[in-house]
Structure 1
């Protein structure tokens, strides 16, 4: 509702400036929405299916497997994946520098195997492009894969990158300190707060019997 109202307001302001309409009926209207995260996430079974798909099925395109695994296990955004370069990799330590994160991200064996498969795909194209994800359009240059290309990479698996990434962030924020997650991901601390569930786990309360049902804060 909030997004639709913003778009509607933009259109009506344009229409009024062009004298298509005389009055902007959206002026002053507001839409109240939930402050916390309200997007769709993956179930545990769906995560397992995707993990098996990207680690065991050779027919899956290497770019899909890389983008999917980085989002599923490491909370990587599409931009972090498409901007990843070979110089950002440390084969000895098996780490990758993702985006603006302050420290290299250690990759688990499954993720590193998927990365190596993507590097083999890149090597087969005989390109000097420094990026890990190289397409037919970018192999002759040095630019990263386009945003449009990356947005379609996961179509075959049936889930968008944002949904997969949000699943990981939601789990991390609700099992760890949100400030630590923000620091590790190079995010604004306020950006992680929306992923907090609207309850406090009773196992973390000093006296669950007295406070159960009374805690509604997000911290």
Structure 2
């Protein structure tokens, strides 16, 4: 075992020494001909977010970038630090958070790049004879989104565009594999009906996208007749999803309030969805500044008023905050993961969607259960106003029958 010459430490202790990043930064500044003025602040930024070994590794990589022949402007340096592929690398994420927080550089387009890759993957999965029109349809969706951004209206999100391209891809696969058709012009109403019958629950959503797609290809003279004309959804317009029974709700409530091994993130998302009809997006984007510890209220999403917390919900929230404090992060969100603790971005949608996997229920099911109960018990307009929802979105949870057990018992006259 060899000891460090300067501090007299063994190799293992020297690797964990908290002064290693600062010593590495001093050596880097002495080696550079023109040291950048923000190097010391960046090392402080790394030291509080990463272990000594990881911080030193990033400082070494940064040194190679600063010592090459390219300019060391923050924006140019951030672009060169990015790695190709799905992840742009820990150094690029650290530089992006540091530069954008201090106004030295603009955020990267990593999210747009990943979305472009996902769109390309769906287009490439379309059979080759039908692929050009799918590509043109994707470009038209992107142009429509740009126009919506300029006009100030609601643009389509990346997930909406990707879902539409996935439906077009599935139809193209169905036509070539099952119906033996290699041209969009050969599509008829029977093909559409057969395709929609493969997934009856998604019939309405699929039909909406297919109508939009065939309007587009008909405008380009690819098809002469719209095969979706006259096809109806034939499904109930109201809520047709699953809900959680009362006995299972009690079991879940005991799990999230008295369970010792339950993860704090699971308890918080489950309690807020079951009792307050919170969506996974509202919980994912919940900030620490949205909490009012004096009045025990929180602000969820676009709800017009603060949401009062009951003792069980507030206790689950405090557990989540204690778990966040153990991670030693300055991420402003309540739910902080191992990946997001070094930055300021919220937890990923995939992470939040799988938080409740140990209990075997999804956040959407819990939220739908609470919404169905509120709408059928209270005035739907009041529910919509309290939750910040459109009245049309709330009315689908209204039942079309009356529960006789909830009616007052009138004496027979």
Q: TM-score range with shorter-chain normalisation? A: 0.7 to 0.9
1:97-176 equivalences in 2 (<5 Å)? 97-176=299-378
The correspondence for 2:248, drawn from 27, 32, 46, is 46
Distance in structure 1 (CA, Å) of the matches to 2:213 and 2:252: 39
Q: Greater shift after overlay, 10-19 or 21-30?
A: 10-19
Distance in structure 2 (CA, Å) of the matches to 1:198 and 1:177: 15
Structure 2 SS opposite 1:101: coil
Q: Greater shift after overlay, 14-23 or 121-130?
A: 14-23
Summarize the Cα distance change of 1:124–1:18 in structure 2 as closer, same or farther, 3 Å threshold. farther
Normalised by the size of structure 1, how large is the TM-score? 0.84
Residue 147 of structure 1 and its aligned partner are, at CA, apart by 1.1
Distance in structure 1 (CA, Å) of the matches to 2:348 and 2:233: 34
Structure 2 SS opposite 1:169: helix
State whether structure 2 residue 386 is matched by structure 1 residue 197.
no
Normalised by the size of structure 2, how large is the TM-score? 0.46
Distance in structure 1 (CA, Å) of the matches to 2:395 and 2:348: 30
1:21-36 equivalences in 2 (<5 Å)? 25-36=227-238
Corresponding residue number in structure 1 for 2:88: none
Corresponding residue number in structure 2 for 1:37: 239
Residue 25 of structure 1 and its aligned partner are, at CA, apart by 4.0
Distance in structure 2 (CA, Å) of the matches to 1:14 and 1:184: 39
Residue 104 of structure 1 and its aligned partner are, at CA, apart by 0.8
Unpaired segments of 5 or more residues in structure 1? 210-219
Residue 124 of structure 1 and its aligned partner are, at CA, apart by 0.4
Structure 2 SS opposite 1:183: helix
Corresponding residue number in structure 1 for 2:384: 182
The higher-RCO structure (CA 8 Å, 6+ apart) is: 1
Distance in structure 2 (CA, Å) of the matches to 1:129 and 1:122: 9
Summarize the Cα distance change of 1:14–1:158 in structure 2 as closer, same or farther, 3 Å threshold. farther
Corresponding residue number in structure 2 for 1:212: none
Distance in structure 1 (CA, Å) of the matches to 2:264 and 2:218: 49
Q: Greater shift after overlay, 133-142 or 8-17?
A: 8-17
Q: Whose Rg is larger?
A: 2
Q: Greater shift after overlay, 147-156 or 124-133?
A: 147-156
The correspondence for 1:76, drawn from 272, 278, 282, is 278
RMSD across aligned positions (CA): 2.6
Corresponding residue number in structure 1 for 2:295: 93
Corresponding residue number in structure 2 for 1:213: none
Q: Greater shift after overlay, 161-170 or 56-65?
A: 56-65
Deviations 1:106-125 (A, max 9, x none): 11111111110000000000
| Greater per-residue helix proportion | 2
Structure 1 SS opposite 2:266: helix
Corresponding residue number in structure 1 for 2:92: none
Deviations 1:43-98 (A, max 9, x none): 00110111111111121111111101000000000011011111111112111111
Distance in structure 2 (CA, Å) of the matches to 1:70 and 1:182: 17
The number of residue pairs the alignment matches comes to: 209
Residue 142 of structure 1 and its aligned partner are, at CA, apart by 1.0
